[in-house]
A and B are shown apart, each in its own frame.
Chain A
Amino acid sequence: AQSVSQHNHHVILSEAASLELGCNYSYGGTVNLFWYVQYPGQHLQLLLKYFSGDPLVKGIKGFEAEFIKSKFSFNLRKPSVQWSDTAEYFCAVNIGYGGSQGNLIFGKGTKLSVKP
């Protein structure tokens, strides 16, 4: 079965530190990739997505992610984190061309705590 692995359960950073959250998936075919974020007390929301084209995608709030097909990875990055980035981050995959399967397969999530 397809799966998504997020390497870090909890990451603690100081403000202005750089962030990289790892995500790997296990599926050899066409994939669509997503990062979702859940801020404390809020709904899960889309941070960025990759379907095709430029493997470096930019999302909201200064986040970006790079798709490396050979490594089955889609790592999330931000050059300088802020206290307001404290949240839980989920990597997700939708398999099939155009997302034909419909549902998302999620990783277990990474909690990010940013110290002011």
Chain B
Amino acid sequence: GAGVSQSPSNKVTEKGKDVELRCDPISGHTALYWYRQRLGQGLEFLIYFQGNSAPDKSGLPSDRFSAERTGESVSTLTIQRTQQEDSAVYLCASSLDRGASYEQYFGPGTRLTVT
């Protein structure tokens, strides 16, 4: 079946502009996660959604970052007034439910470059 998809695959933007990244999780997966990976670093948790519960935003690095999810489907991660340090690969993952018992399936990522 279809895996997690993300768009765009690559995004180059100028410093100060806003960007929107999209994630389509696997159908039926109630949990959705956003991570980012900066060059030479591990994946860094940003935010996660579980069903209709309030999202866990504890990993968002600043108030320029926000994310939304429509029900149990598409999610968008928005970065306002982008900075060069926002350059990274942004990865989305989904799982059938929250918790370690449920494998997280990762998308291919969006490579964001802020010039």
Minimum Cβ distance to chain A for residue B41 (Å):
6
- Enumerate chain A residues within 8 angstroms of B98, measured Cβ to Cβ: 99-100, 102
Separation of A69 and B50 alpha carbons in the complex (Å): 30
A99 close to B42 (CB less than 8 A) = no
Is A103 touching B56 in the complex (CB atoms < 8 A)? Answer: yes
**Could you give, for residues 2-45 of chain B, a 1 whenever the CB lies within 8 Å of some chain A CB and a 0 otherwise?**
01100000000000000000000000000101010000111111
| Residue from B3, B56, B59, B100 within 8 A of A43 (CB atoms) | B3
| A113: Cβ under 8 A from any B Cβ | no
| Residue A82 at the chain B interface, CB threshold 8 Å | no
- Shortest CB-to-CB span from B47 to chain A, Å, is 9
Please tell me if A21 contacts chain B, counting CB pairs below 8 Å: no
Complex contact B59–A103 (CB within 8 A): yes
> Are B42 and A90 in contact (CB-based, < 8 A)?
yes
For A94, list chain B residues within 8 Å (CB): 99-100
CA of A107 to CA of B37, assembled, Å: 11
A-side contacts of B48, CB under 8 Å: 102-103
Q: For the complex, is A112 an interface residue (Cβ under 8 Å from B)?
A: no
B79 on interface, CB distance cutoff 8 Å: no
Is A13 engaged at the interface, CB distance under 8 Å to the other chain?
Answer: no
Known: A103-B45, A104-B43. A51 touches B3 (CB 8 A): no
Chain A residues with CB under 8 A of B102: 99
For A98, list chain B residues within 8 Å (CB).
99-101
> Are B103 and A46 closer than 8 Å at their CB atoms?
yes
Closest Cβ neighbor of B49 among chain A residues: A102
In the bound complex, residues from chain A placing their C-beta under 8 Å from that of B59 are 103
Q: Interface 1/0s, chain A 85-116, versus B by CB < 8 A?
A: 00000101010001110111111110000000
**Is the Cβ of B106 less than 8 Å from the Cβ of A44?**
yes
Contacts from B to A (Cβ < 8 Å)? 3-4, 31, 33, 35, 40-45, 48, 50, 56, 59, 91, 93, 98-109
Known: A36-B106, A90-B43, A106-B35. 6 other contacts (CB 8 A): A43-B107, A45-B106, A102-B48, A102-B98, A108-B41, A108-B42
